[in-house]
Amino acid sequence: MSSRQKRSREEPLEATETDISEVIDADTDEDEEEEVEEEEYVTIDMSLVRKEVECPICLGIIRKTSTVMECLHRFCRKCIDKSMRLGNKECPSCRTHLASRRSLKDDPNYDILIATLFPNIDKFEEEEFASLEEELGLPKKGI
């Protein structure tokens, strides 16, 4: 629905000087664009977000978040599992001592957050890797 008004155009021409200025004012109003409601989007620098969701072990986006309870650092469950199996009883990020796997806690809420930010992690990482290859000028396979 438009709130624009036709009225001013239909006003009689035999107006006095004051009336004319009123008509002009009305015309000016008419030319104004209707106010567009501001869209509720924010611009996010995805490279910053990407850093936040990076697993310090595999440097990929965290899959199946496992949080270290002592320091709240996050890793892929697989990555931190592997690290502990190899006998690294410390947080790979800050070296906080980890007595056992009981120091780790799954963080499904974080998984949901990541899934929301990166609905298609595989595709995102594939493109990221492709652009990285390009950046480094690595020769393409098969050439």
| Residue 68: CB minimum distance to Zn ion, A | 5
Q: Considering only 11-19, 38-46, 90-98, 115-123, which stretch makes contact with Zn ion by CB under 5 A?
A: 90-98
Q: Which residue of 66, 67, 79, 98 would you call a contact of Zn ion, by CB under 5 A?
A: 79
Tally of CB atoms within 10 A around 62: 26
- How far apart CA 122 and CA 102 sit, in angstroms, is 30
| 53: contact with Zn ion by CB under 5 A | no
| 113: contact with Zn ion by CB under 5 A | no
| 91: contact with Zn ion by CB under 5 A | yes
Size of the site for Zn ion (CB under 5 A): 11
Q: Considering only 30-38, 39-47, 92-100, 101-109, which stretch makes contact with Zn ion by CB under 5 A?
A: 92-100
Q: Considering only 18-26, 35-43, 76-84, 114-122, which stretch makes contact with Zn ion by CB under 5 A?
A: 76-84
| Residue 76: CB minimum distance to Zn ion, A | 3
CB-based burial of residue 116 (10 Å sphere; 0-12 exposed, 13-18 middle, 19+ buried)?
Answer: exposed
- How far apart CA 30 and CA 41 sit, in angstroms, is 29
- How far apart CA 24 and CA 15 sit, in angstroms, is 12
Residue 104's beta-bridge partner residues? 68
Residue nearer to Zn ion on the CB measure, 50 or 73: 73
- How far apart CA 88 and CA 81 sit, in angstroms, is 10
| Residue 60: CB minimum distance to Zn ion, A | 6
> Which stretches of the chain are assigned E, i.e. beta strand?
65-68, 74-76, 104-106
Question: What is the contact surface with Zn ion in residues (CB under 5 A)?
Answer: 55, 57-58, 71, 73, 76, 79, 91, 93-94, 96
